[in-house]
Amino acid sequence: MDEKKGMVGTLWWVRQVFFALCAFFFLFFGIHVLIAAYSLKDPFSFVMTFFSSNLIILISLVLLVGFVYGMITSLRKENRGETHACSEENATHR
């Protein structure tokens, strides 16, 4: 049963890292599109490209923050659980 729980945890971490890397990719893609928008001559194309790149950047940044926050929260829960287990073990030995 512990092996299955560990495997789910491992798959969760792989998924979180994969999605965070995808969010990084789209963040840099949105920045690249934003920079490319300034080289456009047509005002309509500029405005459409500018706002679409800002939307790409906004969505990918929010997703990235969410994935990183989830990973940090998970690490803190794991560390807190180990700390409590160690302090309970020390309390019983006294």
Q: What is the pLDDT of residue 19?
A: 95
Query: What gap in Å lies between CA 17 and CA 63, rounded to an integer?
Result: 12
Residues in the chain: 94
Predicted TM-score (pTM) of the model is 0.72
Q: What is the pLDDT of residues 40-60, one digit of tens each?
A: 999 999 999 999 999 999 999
State the pLDDT at residue 84: 43
Sign for the CA dihedral angle at 6, 8, 11, 13 comes to: negative
Please report the pLDDT score of residue 9 as a whole number.
Answer: 80
Give the residue extent of every domain in the chain.
2-93
Residue 39: phi, psi to the nearest 5?
A: -90, 0
Question: How distant is the alpha carbon of residue 50 from its chain centre?
Answer: 24
Average pLDDT over all residues of the chain: 84
CB distance 21 to 37 below 8 Å: no
Q: How many CB atoms lie within 10 A of CB 30?
A: 20
List pLDDT tens digits, range 1-45.
455 555 558 888 899 999 999 999 999 999 999 999 999 999 999
